[in-house]
Amino acid sequence: MSRNIEELARDNVRALTPYQSARRLGGNGDVWLNANEFPLPVPFELSQQTLNRYPECQPKIVIERYAAYAGLQPEQVLVSRGADEGIELVMRAFCEPGKDAILFCPPTYGMYSVSAETIGIEYRTVPALENWQLNLPAIADRLDGVKVVYMCSPNNPTGNLINPDDIRALLEMTAGKALVVADEAYIEFCPQATLSGWLKAYPHLVILRTLSKAFALAGLRCGFTLANKPVIDLLMKVIAPYPLATPVADVAGQALSEQGIALMRQHVAELNASRAWLLEQLPQLSVVQQVFPSETNYILARFADSPAVFKSLWDQGIILRDQNKNPGLAGCLRISIGTREECERLIAALQALSVEKA
Ligand code: PMP
């Protein structure tokens, strides 16, 4: 019997709704505030001009520089095609499709579920509490069969850090049973909160990092997984033979030089100042109902009529990220911090939509 191509695909892939990345969603803007990118490019040079040879699987200079930056040993660092690949490598190395599960706490980053669905792993959700902290008793109740818990801190899209005491409790309750993956994609905006110092105490802790946010290299596709050697050794078994293109390793090495890191820190300071300015401005607008605190390069806000605000800004070329479909985030839009001029344009456009607040 002949079957059409669609029928030949795996059931879970046929049922899958792919991740709606900002770039897939499109738009015709000139103020892009929907992907938490850094708004301006950083300089780089391609120092290696030959591409006839395969690259190193784990480029030494990139690994050594990231290890030094993170305060870890090179054997505790794995580099991959963005943090997104790290999310998936952990599932591929630790979860048996059809048997094991992962768990995460929405609202949070969308790729944990998409990767699980793609691979064919059950995902369990335990909604975050109203203050977006972990619901520890509910997590404890649902841990049976769970091999990996994904926890994003600071969390995308809410912007908050997870309480360290709760993370410790999560690590205690999962010890010997499951890994805890702490997604630190935005940690450069609140570096004091990193869990990297906790790797010594917890063999089942894994940390994800990226060059896509504070390092201003989203187009590079370069991310890191930090963990103890036994975890890294397992991930190395399932990673592609040549995960990073030669030019990627070249640019990543420059970004992780002393000057690269200093520039990143200066950029973080600038964005944090613009975030403070936006956090002051947004609550004064009548279209804005609620503004949530943020430790990141984005702000989540609730609007009285978010579809109208989203559309009006879209039509003016200011592209935000709609969060209406995310559990608990009805009426919410996520705003990436752009340049100061972009922030000012956003506020001016929102002012035009607002009536005077009494
Ligand atoms: N984790 C979180 C929380 C993110 O927001 C993102 C980027 N959207 C990623 C991981 C993926 O980062 P990368 O660009 O390194 O794949």
Extents of the domains making up the chain: 2-39+261-353, 60-257
Mean pLDDT, all residues of the chain: 96
pLDDT value at residue 202: 98
For a mutational test of ligand 1's pocket, the pick from 111, 206, 334, i.e. the residue with the most ligand atoms closer than 8 A to its C-beta, is 111
Q: What distance in Å separates the CA atoms of residue 33 and residue 22, rounded to the nearest whole number?
A: 10
SS3 34: coil
- The three-class DSSP label of residue 23 is helix
Which whole number is the average pLDDT over 87-112?
Answer: 97
Which ligand 1 atom is at minimum distance from the Cα of 85?
A: 16
DSSP SS3 for 41: coil
Main-chain dihedrals φ then ψ at residue 164, nearest 5 degrees: -60, -35
- CA 321 to ligand 1 centroid distance, Å: 15
Asked whether 80 and 223 are in contact (CB, 8 A), the reply is yes
Residue closest by Cα to atom 2 of ligand 1: 185
Q: pLDDT tens digits, residue range 26-58?
A: 778 899 999 999 999 999 999 988 999 999 999
How high is the pLDDT of residue 346? 98
For the stretch 11-33, pLDDT in tens is 989 999 888 887 777 778 899 99
pLDDT digit string, tens, across residues 296-311: 999 999 999 999 999 9
Distance, CA 327 to ligand 1 centroid (Å)? 19
* Band (357; pLDDT cuts 50, 70, 90): low
**Strands 332-336 and 321-322, bridge-based pairing:** antiparallel
Assigned CATH for 60-257: 3.40.640.10
In this predicted structure, what is the pLDDT of residue 95?
A: 98
Probe residue for ligand 1, chosen from 109, 152, 153, 297 as the CB with the greatest number of ligand atoms within 8 Å: 109
Q: Which residue ranges have their beta carbon within 6 Å of ligand 1?
A: 36, 82-84, 109, 152, 156, 183, 185, 210, 212, 218, 223
- The ligand 1 atom at the shortest distance from the C-alpha of residue 156 is 3
Distance CA 226, CA 182 (A): 10
The class (CATH top level) of 2-39+261-353 is alpha beta
User: Nearest to residue 321, comparing CAs of 308, 309, 336?
Assistant: 336
Per-residue model confidence (pLDDT) at position 25: 79
Enter the tokens of residue 171. Answer: 């690590």
Strand, helix or coil for residue 280? helix
Q: pLDDT tens-digit profile of 216-275?
A: 999 999 999 999 999 999 999 999 999 999 999 999 999 999 999 999 999 999 999 999
**How much distance in Å is there from the Cα of 167 to the middle of ligand 1?**
20
In the reported structure, the alpha carbon of residue 323 is separated from the centroid of ligand 1 by a whole-number distance in angstroms of 16
Distance CA 116, CA 17 (A): 12
| pLDDT number for residue 181 | 99
Q: From CA 116, how far away is CA 180, in angstroms rounded?
A: 15
The pLDDT of residue 356 is 56
Across 68-91, average pLDDT = 98
Alpha carbon nearest to ligand 1 atom 8, residue:
35
Residue 95, both tokens: 């979860």
What is the token pair recorded at 48? 């290696």
Measured in Å, residue 210 CA sits from the centre of ligand 1 at 7
